[in-house]
């Protein structure tokens, strides 16, 4: 069984669009409108892949990624942002992001990234 994808983004319209694409591909997903909401639920979620926006009200995505790692949650995280500041990307790598996407991004590219990460998770769970 393929792990779920957690969309953490305050842009409800974007999350809905991504969710539609994922559902059409038969992929399970859940949307969290804030980093705080995701972190509050994280301990009770099954292992999954995270699509995490950087710029959100309250806690930003980089702080959420850092908090995940401090809790020992090593799920694959794809960080996305409209920011062109390379320091944001550098911090994402430091905090353990597995991929970095700049918005707007190509849906096919996102699907390839997600499928690659989900495939690696499935292979790891089978071994």
Distance of alpha carbon 115 from alpha carbon 108, whole angstroms? 10
Q: Yes or no: is domain 33-119 CATH 3.40.50.2300?
A: yes
Confirm if 62 and 88 have CB atoms less than 8 A apart: yes
Model pLDDT, residue 2: 85
Q: What is the pLDDT of residues 3-48, one digit of tens each?
A: 999 999 999 999 999 999 999 999 999 999 999 999 999 999 999 9
Q: Please give the model's pTM, rounded to 2 decimal places.
A: 0.94
Q: CB neighbours of 100 closer than 8 A, spacing ≥ 6?
A: 78, 79, 80, 89, 92, 93
Q: Among candidates 103, 102, 97, which has minimal Cα distance to 117?
A: 97
Return the percentage of the chain with pLDDT > 90, whole number.
80
Model pLDDT, residue 104: 87
**Residue spans per domain, the chain:** 33-119
């Amino acid at each position: 069984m393929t792990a779920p994808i957690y969309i953490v983004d305050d842009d409800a319209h974007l999350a809905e669009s991504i969710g539609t694409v994922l559902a059409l591909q038969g992929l399970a997903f859940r949307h969290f409108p804030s980093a705080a909401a995701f972190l509050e639920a994280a301990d009770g979620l099954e292992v999954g892949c995270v699509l995490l926006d950087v710029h959100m009200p309250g806690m930003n995505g980089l702080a959420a990624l850092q908090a995940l790692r401090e809790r020992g949650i090593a799920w694959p995280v794809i960080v996305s942002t409209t920011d062109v500041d390379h320091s944001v990307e550098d911090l994402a790598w430091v905090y353990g992001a597995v991929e970095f996407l700049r918005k707007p991004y190509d849906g096919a590219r996102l699907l390839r990234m997600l499928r690659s990460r989900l495939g690696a998770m499935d292979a790891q769970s089978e071994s």
